[in-house]
Amino acid sequence: MNDSGKLCLHSITTRPWSIEEAAGKYSAAGIRWISVWRDALEGRNPGSINRMLQDEGLGVASLVRGGFFASADRMKRVEAIEDNIRAMEEAAALKAPLLVLVCGADPTQSLEDSRDQIREGIAALLPMAGELGIKLGIEPLHPMYADTRSAISTLKQANDLVVLMESALVGVVVDVYHLWWDPDLEVEIRRCGELNKLFAFHICDWKVPTEDMLNDREIMGKGCIPVARIRQWVQEAGFQGPVEVEIFSKHYWSRDQDSYLKEIIEAYKHRS
Amino acid sequence: MNDSGKLCLHSITTRPWSIEEAAGKYSAAGIRWISVWRDALEGRNPGSINRMLQDEGLGVASLVRGGFFASADRMKRVEAIEDNIRAMEEAAALKAPLLVLVCGADPTQSLEDSRDQIREGIAALLPMAGELGIKLGIEPLHPMYADTRSAISTLKQANDLVVLMESALVGVVVDVYHLWWDPDLEVEIRRCGELNKLFAFHICDWKVPTEDMLNDREIMGKGCIPVARIRQWVQEAGFQGPVEVEIFSKHYWSRDQDSYLKEIIEAYKHRS
């Protein structure tokens, strides 16, 4: 049985709850960690949210999400960098040590061009990231998102990219949903650990059948991903951080969030 | 401009048409090749269908599809092999030189177990395949189908598998829809050619956004896949066979099939 001390919830997992309500509920359920989505901060002061979360006994694992660097339109690339700078400032105020990057892709250009722009975009953030002490986590996304969301589809690509970036601030976010199918996953998780680049670990499950490409994720143990096995690889690679539950699901969002939260905690303890 | 002599259509591409109607329409449009889906043969004699296709001047590139070897249930694995034997007999009667294999996956077991069963399943077909002179084409499927359709998700895996199988009858089917996102695609296409294992080549496009994981493919040039570039790699790898258009699309199936066919031929000539 997993001790719940490392359980972290992404605010989007219980999307119907405001960040204040989520914090109260998570805390009451014995959860100690939260990753905050930027939409949950809307109209709020990130510094005040940090104090509210501290009062609830919640540490902030990461701010989610920056990125979307790739575009054939140069102005959009500049705007993306500006938006990522704002995200890093929010992360600093929120005392989130990590900004998760969904790197982006533009279907009107080649994946190679998108990858070049991703490298340039991350490089442009490094001076400010250093000043603010914010780490940047490249999250490879499932190949079904290679059209518009991420030209980085495998852990090998993310590892290769962080090696190329040569910055202590740039690492990788491993999410079982995106990577479970990859025959190289175990090897690349080990490599990521050896590089000391495994910055965060996200879990959920793959629903069978999946009916919506974006918002139909499953609770751990109810799909086909060997979550516990991948978690073991991640821990053997030296990762000791929080284990983050990130579920997008129209189905669960439409249900009672209290019983859903209980189900997540049970699944975390016994099937993760 | 591509000469239409190599253009091949999968019968499922124009699903509303019966095989007889499709054959007449393809032939009248100057198409010389067809790949036949098994559902199109229902209630028909494959030998008679072969003669009908010959009369229309159509060569048969392949029968689609066998496979689905993976199951935690041993009886289902036996049934799958029996069904593949029937498929090979149909292919022989149809004078199709190739049976396309969608290898299968069972979400209740590990991908490794599914892959073991795929190897065993294909091995079980080899004696009959040799007798009938039918080649078997392993088609790696997009990782979004790794839950139930294919534990073989990349061209590297398919290449590795055919090397392991050590049979002149077993090769690979490259489909741009499944493989376009893969950073190793060019290298693995070259390798497949060097192995002399590139048995078939399927094209279509990835619609942006894709709204249905199964039946929302696009006509070449209207999505984000660099079809012409991948086709060049395939030809540089020595492939000289037909170029097969395989589109599943509720959208196009609901439209007038004659104008859709014209659109496909234009896209093949100018954007493939």
CA distances from B142 to A129, A154, A211, B102, B214 (A): 36, 13, 16, 11, 11
Give residue-wise pLDDT tens across range A86-127.
999 999 999 999 999 999 999 999 999 999 999 999 999 999
Q: How far is A191 from chain B (nearest CA, A)?
A: 18
What tokens appear for A9 in the block?
């919830």
Percent of chain B with pLDDT over 90: 99
Mutate to test the interface with A, among B144, B188, B210 (most CBs of A within 10 A): B144
B:130-159 residues touching chain A, CB 8 A cutoff: 142-144, 146-148, 153-154, 156-157
**pLDDT score of A168:** 97
Nearest chain A residue to B226, by CA: A110
Measuring CA to CA, which residue among A28, A54, A260, A265 is closest to residue A36?
A: A54
Q: pLDDT tens, B178-209?
A: 999 999 999 999 999 999 999 999 999 999 99
Kindly indicate the confidence band of residue B4, based on its pLDDT and cuts at 50, 70 and 90: confident
* pLDDT value at B124 more than 90: yes
Q: Is the pLDDT confidence value at A1 over 90?
A: no
> Which pLDDT value is given to residue B3?
82
At residue B267, does pLDDT exceed 90? yes
Tell me the pLDDT band of B48, cut-offs 50, 70 and 90: very high
Give A107 to chain B, closest Cα distance, Å: 5
**pLDDT of B161 over the 90 cut:** yes
Which residues on neighbouring strands pair with residue B243, listed in sequence order?
B7, B201
| Residue B193: predicted pLDDT | 98
The predicted pLDDT at position A3 comes to 82
Using the predicted structure, report yes or no on whether residue A141 has a pLDDT greater than 90.
yes
A182 close to A155: Cβ distance less than 8 angstroms: yes
Give the gap in angstroms from C-alpha B139 to the nearest C-alpha of chain A.
16
Structure confidence at residue B2 (pLDDT): 84
* Residue from the list B147, B181, B213 with its beta carbon closest to the beta carbon of A143: B181
B107·A224 Cβ contact <8 A: yes
Question: Is B164 touching A (CB cutoff 8 A)?
Answer: no
Query: Crossing angle of helices B227-236/B185-194, nearest 10°?
Result: 30
Q: What is the mean pLDDT of residues A22-49?
A: 97
Contact residues, chain A, for B223 at CB < 8 Å? 107, 147
Identity at A227, one-letter amino acid code: V
Per-residue confidence (pLDDT) for residue B209, from 0 to 100? 98
Identify the pLDDT of residue A217.
Answer: 98
Residue B1 has pLDDT above 90, yes or no: no
What does the pLDDT average to over B19-29?
Answer: 98
CB contact under 8 A, B142 and A142: no
Residue A77, pLDDT > 90, answer yes
Q: Do residues A246 and A34 touch, judged by C-beta distance below 8 A?
A: no
CB-based contacts of B253, cutoff 8 Å, min separation 6:
B14, B15, B16, B215
To the nearest whole percent, how much of chain A has pLDDT over 90? 99
* Backbone phi, psi, residue A62, to 5°: -165, 160
Distances (CA, A) of B206 to A57, B73, B128, B181: 46, 34, 36, 10
